[in-house]
Amino acid sequence: MLSIKNLEAGYGKVKVLHGINIDVPKGQVITLIGSNGAGKTTTMRAITGMIKPTAGEVTLGGEKIDGYDSHKIARLGLAHSPEGRRVFTTMSVTDNLLLGAFPRFTGSRPKGDIKNDLEKSLEMFPRLKERRNQLAGTLSGGEQQMLAMARAVMLNPEIILLDEPSMGLAPILVEEVFKIISNLKSQGVTMLLVEQFAAAALNVADYGYVLENGKIATHGPAAKLKDDPAVKAAYLGGG
Ligand code: ATP
């Protein structure tokens, strides 16, 4: 579904990604873990068209998408739930969700039943359902994070990129976020999950990649990575 080959990217003269390869097959949850500054967010930005890769390629369903602008990539069915709760604070929860479906409009008619999908995503995120008429800026940080995820779901996407969905959340909300991720997984949604919270990410994922200093240090089935002594020592808080 999504394939990243020998990807290099950075900011100006600073190279952050030094030729990485990641494969996200349809229906699977793939996680990318790594410590602060490893280049996880930069990888997401290079996939979603926010920065242009300097080498390598990104393909979605066989179509080469690197170099496309973000809007075109969204229209091809790639949804992005960005790091740091980027919601529209002066708009209601419902309007934020409807905006998530915006790329589904080509001409005047949308693809699929947006009203129905709105109700479905509110069912999936009960906290948002209770607050559907509230301004997004008045939600707690954790609720805003969920809104960013729910908005990604509203694209009715082929694949969702989740950038650190647990960041800054209280443990109870982290649990809720991961429950939602497994729920999406059981519905067959393909996901690339970037997380610092490696243990939870490896529990929900099928396969994982470990990013260190802009390179893939190791990769393998999630269950195997969880038992890898080096991964355990560096990312799972124990030897
Ligand atoms: P974190 O978990 O802390 O978000 P990360 O793995 O997502 O880390 P990135 O945000 O991709 O890491 O950052 C990788 C490197 O790129 C860092 O050295 C960072 O300083 C640099 N970097 C990130 N964003 C920019 C930017 N907009 N301009 C210049 N350098 C940047």
pLDDT digit string (tens) for the chain, length 239 residues: 999 999 999 999 999 999 999 999 999 999 999 988 899 999 999 999 999 999 999 999 999 999 899 889 998 999 988 876 788 999 999 999 998 888 887 766 777 788 888 998 899 899 899 999 999 999 988 889 889 999 988 988 889 999 998 887 888 888 888 999 999 999 899 999 999 889 999 999 999 999 999 999 999 999 999 999 888 888 887 54
> Residue 141: what pLDDT?
85
For ligand 1, the distance from its centroid to the CA atom of residue 113, given in whole angstroms, is 38
> Residue 239: what pLDDT?
43
C-alpha pair distances (Å), 19 with each of 22, 56, 101: 10, 7, 33
What DSSP string runs through 112-125? Answer: S-HHHHHHHHHHH-
Q: Which of 40, 166, 193 to probe ligand 1 with, by most ligand atoms within 8 A of CB?
A: 40
Q: Say whether the ipTM exceeds 0.85.
A: yes
Its pTM stands at 0.90
Residue 3 to residue 88: CA distance in whole angstroms? 31
Residue 43 to residue 120: CA distance in whole angstroms? 30
Specify whether the backbone of 189 is left (phi greater than 0), alpha (psi in -120 to 50) or beta. beta
pLDDT digits (tens, 9 = 90+) for 88-118: 999 999 999 998 888 887 766 777 788 888 9
Q: Looking at ligand 1, which atom is closest to the CA of residue 83?
A: 4
